[in-house]
Amino acid sequence: SHVFINGQWCQPEEAVVSVFDRGFLFADGVYEVVPFYTGYPLLFDDHYERLERSLAQVGIDNPYQREEWLSICQTLAESTPEANGIVYIQVTRGAEYPRNHLPEGELTPTVMATASPWVPPVETPDPVHVEPFEDIRWLRCDIKSISLLGNIMLKQEAKKRGAFEPLLHRNGRVTEGASCNYFMVKDGCLYTPPNDELILGGITREWILELAESAGIEVKETAFSLDELMQADECFLSSSTREVQPVGTIGSTTINNGSIGPITQQLAELFRNRRP
Ligand code: PDD
């Protein structure tokens, strides 16, 4: 498999980054995850625009134009032996010595991109168990930052409790997962927390909202509490790698008798039918 590093293509073991890279020292960088199906990146423009936004928010110059990013993604998608996979893109502020919190010099961003194999769900997966946790992360979760310590700590806690994923809330208000967005269905209406600074606006989340609207399902991007979610008719989570993943239990509360609900099923099928 190829690695793209600062404009060069090489083997993983040949790819080299400075130990003074600010990504390594400070997690000073942003990333994207773009799924590809049969060699085609899904919703590339949306991923590109989010990368542009993340870079702008942290003040790193976008090193490439849209077409160059697309060509990097396509080359990676075509270079893997598998038809389906994940492209990972990372841009850090660059290397700087001596170590200094405040970036000062004219730095050249470090760009790395790689692809890994991935098997998209063929059928809708079985409902999973999630565990609620207080959201201990920072207040700019809208930036796709490579600084993911909070997310990792929460994932580990969830794993200890046998959960597939944490369900994060701030003082009772549901935000998202450690690497996914959450939805609930109540009385036929689809709810998901608003796209503010407390969540990463998922590309999959946006796509699901569009699919729901075009199917005539009522949609509300509104904050809801953990208690309200416990009373929901259906619950599912979404991400580029999980697509539509039904949730069967939240802590000790069972949702829809632990089985997949009709609207979740409908959206999962719409998602599968509309991807390449
Ligand atoms: N994570 N929220 C968080 C905190 C995420 O890390 C992700 C994605 C999402 C869903 O975003 P999208 O639908 O655009 O994948 C929401 C990726 C997959 C990752 O970190 O690997």
- Give me the chain's average pLDDT, please: 97
* Nearest ligand 1 atom to alpha carbon 240: 15
Is residue 159 annotated as part of the catalytic site, yes or no?
no
One-letter amino acid of 157: E
**Ligand 1 pocket member 33 (CB < 6 A):** yes
77 has a pLDDT exceeding 70: yes
**Ligand 1 pocket member 176 (CB < 6 A):** yes
Alpha helix (H) residue ranges in the chain: 22-26, 44-58, 66-79, 149-160, 203-214, 226-230, 262-274
Cα 180 to middle of ligand 1, angstroms: 5
Cα 176 to middle of ligand 1, angstroms: 10
One-letter amino acid of 245: Q
Cα 86 to middle of ligand 1, angstroms: 12
One-letter amino acid of 158: A
**Domains of the chain, CATH where assigned:** 3-117 (3.30.470.10), 128-274 (3.20.10.10)
**Ligand 1 pocket member 32 (CB < 6 A):** no
* Nearest ligand 1 atom to alpha carbon 200: 2
189 has a pLDDT exceeding 70: yes
Q: Please determine, for the modelled complex, whether the ipTM score is greater than 0.90.
A: yes
Identify whether the C-beta of residue 247 lies closer than 8 Å to the C-beta of residue 276. no
1 has a pLDDT exceeding 70: no
pTM above 0.80, yes or no: yes
The residue whose CA has the least distance to atom 8 of ligand 1 is: 179
Q: How confident is the model at residue 194 (pLDDT cuts 50, 70, 90)?
A: very high
Question: Quick one: pLDDT at residue 109?
Answer: 98
Q: What is the C-alpha separation between 264 and 180, in angstroms, rounded?
A: 16
